[in-house]
Structures are given as structure tokens and as C-alpha cells.
Structure 1
Amino acid sequence: MTTVVEAFATVAAQVVEKFVGRNGRVRGSSVVHAVHPERWLAEIRVPAPACRVGMAGFELDALVPTDDAVTCARCLQSGQHSTVGRVGPRQLPLWESD
């Protein structure tokens, strides 16, 4: 039997997958934000604007993924970039591995 937390975690994982390496736009706005994981329920994390601008409560579809460049002045000023779904720093290798 699936618990409520497990059900929410499954939904959150699907939302996170949409934002891997992408930015986000709050529905109804033209401003593009850097995105980072934010605590939602229990220990479940979901994508949220990195500048912490307000959104429509618990609506997971209030933040729409986009490949457009960040235009949010607060995100740009702080040097924030999207980090959802990334593990560790992104760095190119010095040489190809076999």
C-alpha cells in the first residue's frame, strides 16, 4: 500500500524531471527565473524560483519549465542558476574517459 507521502513524492519526482537543467516561468508572467529545489511537503523537494518570488501556493504547475535565458533581475544579480536535478558541480572533463 502506498502512503500519502510516497504518492506526493512520485508526483514531485515527475515535476523535477521536467526542470532538469531548465529555467522556469511563473504562470502568467514573462519573467524567466533560475530554478532550485525547495522543500514542499515533509522532505519532498520541488522546483521553485531561486529568487524566492511568490507563487500560487502549492500548485506544482504554477512554475512552467522553459529553455529561455533567465531574465529575473534578482536571479541575475545574485548569479543564481538553475540547479534542479543536478548532483554536484557541472564541469567538463579534461580528457575523454575510456
Structure 2
Amino acid sequence: MLRAAETAPPVESLDVVARILKDRLGAVSVSFLITDFTGSSVVGLGAAGSVATGTTARRIPLAGTVYDDVIRTQRPTVESTGRGTQVRVVAPV
């Protein structure tokens, strides 16, 4: 995975890692979030193709959320999605 990310163009490396994780884990989707500079919310890191959309990134407030817990404890959380055997995993990276 590291080799694939390193050989991809810089603006595509995150998409490459997400695609590999999705395939290897059999995930429905994979996304990466980063805390904003204030530390009060997380923002999704956009795909390479979404950079020039002119849209504002969606901010998710941290206080009292699973993201806040995962960031503070540095431990992953697994939640049921209510859709059969699908689960949602939030993990620090």
C-alpha cells in the first residue's frame, strides 16, 4: 500500500490508499477526515477530482461525537449501521 501511495501522483495518493483499503477490507466506502486548525471540527479530505468544485468542505463538529472519542483515546470504534452485517469503523490514522 505504501509503495502504491508513493508512486501515485501526490494529488492522487490519498485516493489510492482509500481504494486499496476499500478493496482489501471489502468496505462499502472509505473516507479520511482531518481536524481543522481550531481542533473543534473534522473536515473530509476531498478526492483529487473534487479539488476544483468550488464547494466548501463539510465541517463536522467534534464535541460529543464518535470522532472526538476516537481522536482523544486514539482507539478505533466499531458501530452497527443497522443494515445487516455492515458496521461503521472509525479509526485514528
TM-score, with length taken from structure 1: 0.30
Greater helix proportion: 2
TM-score, with length taken from structure 2: 0.31
